[in-house]
Amino acid sequence: MSLPLTIQTTAKGRVDYLPTFEAMRAFTRARDASTSDELWVCEHPPVYTQGLAGKSDHILNPGDIPVIHTDRGGQVTFHGPGQVVAYPLMDLKRAGYYVKEYVYRIEESVIKTLAHFGVTGHRVTGSPGIYVRLDDPFSHAALTGPLNPLDPFSGLGKIAALGIKVSRHCTYHGVALNVSMDLEPFSRINPCGYAGLKTTDLSTIGVSASWQDAADVLGKKLATYLAP
């Protein structure tokens, strides 16, 4: 029997976070060696999610936005309308690569998605996710090191957050790309555990792209770069 090697992409639309989290976990627990990999692409109503490494004091003022504790890595982040959230549900053993490369491939998918819209995305060592230069997000110059050694995020804005879980070689949770959203709720937390870390979205840096446009591009890039 040939094993499935393609990723089946499903557009979920706008869905509540908690039942989506529970569905991902149930899918992962129930899958076996013959289960096809899937990629769920969706959008969530406003919610803060706290990862396993999260500290409660990084949630400064949640107000009426719910806080949900999850089993992904990382700390606190915000999901809301205007943000594309992608959840790859993959068997890494079958794919033939390890977690570090998996993270690299997700980040590369985001970088290629940003490039599609003319934006240059950057990695920051030790801080998963993708960042852009706030003063010139369209510059092709490489980020050779922190713009300010005392503040590795100086001059940068986080445009995509990453948080994953791997159980029995199988992944869930994923990546969130900010497209055109209300960024104010990010000011009520220390995003990803970093006080004062600026977040941005495509709209704020001057890119006019619909949620659907960004979702389509990110979905295709992930399906391509995560393939075995």
CATH classification (class only), 7-118+159-225: alpha beta
Taking each continuous run of H as one helix and of E as one strand, the counts in the chain are 4, 10
Q: How far apart are CA 62 and CA 56, in angstroms?
A: 11
pLDDT value, residue 131: 96
Which residues, in sequence order, are CB contacts of 94 under 8 Å at separation 6+? Answer: 3, 5, 33, 37, 228
**Backbone region of residue 118 per phi and psi (left: phi > 0; alpha: psi in -120 to 50; beta: other values):** left
Q: How far apart are CA 215 and CA 228, in angstroms?
A: 22
Residue pair 39/7 in contact (Cβ under 8 Å)? The answer is yes
Q: How far is CA 213 from the centre of its chain?
A: 17
Give the length of the chain: 228
pLDDT value, residue 54: 85
Within 10 angstroms of residue 221's Cβ, the number of other Cβ atoms is 22
- The shares of helix, strand and coil residues in the chain, as percent rounded to the nearest 5, are 25, 30, 40
pLDDT value, residue 153: 83
What are 17's two structure tokens?
């976070």
pLDDT tens across the length of the chain (228 residues)? 445 568 999 999 999 999 999 999 999 999 999 999 999 999 999 999 999 988 889 999 999 999 999 999 989 999 999 999 999 999 999 999 999 999 999 999 999 999 999 999 999 988 889 999 999 999 988 877 655 666 778 889 999 999 999 999 999 999 999 999 999 999 999 988 888 889 999 999 999 999 999 999 999 999 999 998
What are 184's two structure tokens?
């104010």
Question: If you write DSSP's letter for every residue of 159-201 in order, what string do you get?
Answer: EEEEEEEEETTEEEEEEEEESS---GGGGGB-GGG-TT--B--
pLDDT value, residue 149: 63
Report the SS3 class of residue 105.
helix
| Residue 192: active-site member | yes
Q: Per-domain residue ranges for the chain? A: 7-118+159-225
Catalytic pick among 111, 170, 183, 192 = 192
pLDDT value, residue 143: 77
Any bridge partners for residue 84, and if so which? 177
Within 10 angstroms of residue 66's Cβ, the number of other Cβ atoms is 13
pTM confidence score:
0.94
Question: In what order do the strands lie in the sheet containing 67-69?
Answer: 67-69, 47-50, 76-79
Identity of residue 123 = R
Report the SS3 class of residue 9.
strand
Q: How far apart are CA 173 and CA 184, in angstroms?
A: 24
pLDDT value, residue 1: 40
